[in-house]
Each structure stands twice: as C-alpha cells, then as structure tokens.
C-alpha cells in the first residue's frame, strides 16, 4: 500500500534507524557518544535519551533511576550505560516498569504491571530501595533520583480525547515524582530530576505552570533531533 511504502522509505532514510541497526564502536558510559553500543539498542528512542543526557546531565553514577513505561527497553539500556551498572562498586539502581512484557536487562530490575496501581507502586518502592514496605505504607524518605517517562497514551485521532488522556498520564507521572523524588526544596543538594514526554497543547502548558513549576527549580521543554519532525512529542526536563 502507499502508506506502507511511505513507512519503508522513511525507515530507510532515517539516520537513527540506520545507526541503531549498525554495529557501532563507542564508550558505553559516555553521554557524548550517541553511537555507544548502537547496534544493541532495542529502539531508536535510545537516541532521544542520549540527547537529553548530553544537554542536561540528568543521570549520574550512583543514582537510583526509575523508568516508567520502559518497553521495549531502549531507555533502560541507555540508563544502564550512564550508571555503568556493568562495572563493580558503582552503587546505582535501575528499575523499569511497563504494562507490556519487557526483556530482562542485566543489572536492572524490570517489573510487569500498571504503575498507576498502588500494588505496583509498592513493588517499585521495594525494588528502588531494597526494602519491603510495611503493609500499604511508602518507605520513609525520598527514594528515587531520576524518573524517566517516554510514555504516551494510545492515539484515537480525537484531539479532545487525546489531550485529556495525555493530561491524565502526565498528572499521574508527576504525582508519583512528587511523592518519591528527592526534590530540591527539601535541601538535598542537587535534588531529583524528571523527564517526561508530552504533546503540546494549552492545557498541558497550564499543567506545567500550575503543577510542575512549583515543585522544581527549573522546568524546560526539549525536542531531541532524533524525535521525528512530524511528531508533536516534546519532553519536559524538570530539575
């Protein structure tokens, strides 16, 4: 079909698809080397996080990183490289969760479940802290340094419905972040960081102003070059 032909042509001309598919040398832990381990990345989305990291330096060795909606695992792979989980005594933790089954990744804890459900959130807390929450209680303190979310709702084509679904999703992600990130306002040095995808809309701009801005020192908008030009996706980088 014509649509299939256009898709194939786009894939063939996409430099990030080619880079992901080709074996590439590089320093696995270096955010300045987008070709690092390129041949092993599970999707081209890896390059989006590499760009975000290069620009904002969000993930550091020793951090506890939580990847929401981690399937198929490309962002987990990048985060693992940045944390250098394959090296001894680095001390970081990497936890991912998704409704879809996600292949295991050495050094990471990958959970299957809906992060909106309380039971899944408690499993995440246990994985991030190594402690078993008592009953339905959260573990004490703030237990995540970086939250990553490349999630988006299923697109219906109805702009009103799609915007409402996107708003609900970012509200849920931000709500979890406020409860478990080590925020700057609490005097913990550099504090925690949040990266999440959204689709531009006035209601989403209001959410940034009314909810994100009060909880973070800086909330920036960033569209990676590896994001397709026709895509409305952008990322909030909250620090």
Element (H, E) at 124: helix 118-129
For 152, residues 6+ apart whose C-beta sits below 8 A from its C-beta are 166, 169, 197, 199, 233
The residue annotated as part of the active site, out of 197, 208, 223, 225, is: 197
Got the DSSP string for 180-227? HB--GGGT-TT--EEEEEEE--HHHHHHIIIIIHHH-S-EEEE--TTS
Quick check: is 208 catalytic? no
Q: Does the CA dihedral 155-159-160-166 come out positive or negative?
A: positive
Helix (H) or strand (E) holding 34: none
Catalytic residues: 197
């Amino acid at each position: 079909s014509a649509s299939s032909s256009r898709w194939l042509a786009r894939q063939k001309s996409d430099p990030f698809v080619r880079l992901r598919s080709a074996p590439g040398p590089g320093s696995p832990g270096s955010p300045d080397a987008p070709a690092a381990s390129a041949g092993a990345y599970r999707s081209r989305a890896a390059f989006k996080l590499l760009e975000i990291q290069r620009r904002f330096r969000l993930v550091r060795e020793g951090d506890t990183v939580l990847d929401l909606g981690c399937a198929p695992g490309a962002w987990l792979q990048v985060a693992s490289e940045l944390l250098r989980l394959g090296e001894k005594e680095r001390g970081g933790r990497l936890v991912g969760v998704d409704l879809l089954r996600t292949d295991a990744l050495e050094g990471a804890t990958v959970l299957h479940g809906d992060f909106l459900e309380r039971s899944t959130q408690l499993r995440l807390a246990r994985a991030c802290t190594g402690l078993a929450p008592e009953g339905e209680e959260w573990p004490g303190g703030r237990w995540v340094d970086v939250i990553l979310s490349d999630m988006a709702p299923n697109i219906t084509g109805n702009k009103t419905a799609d915007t409402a679904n996107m708003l609900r999703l970012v509200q849920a992600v931000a709500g979890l972040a406020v409860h478990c990130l080590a925020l700057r306002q609490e005097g913990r040095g550099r504090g925690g960081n949040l990266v999440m995808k959204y689709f531009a809309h006035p209601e989403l701009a209001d959410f940034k102003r009314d909810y994100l801005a009060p909880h973070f020192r800086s909330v920036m908008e960033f569209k990676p070059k590896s994001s397709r030009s026709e895509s409305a996706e952008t990322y909030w980088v909250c620090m």
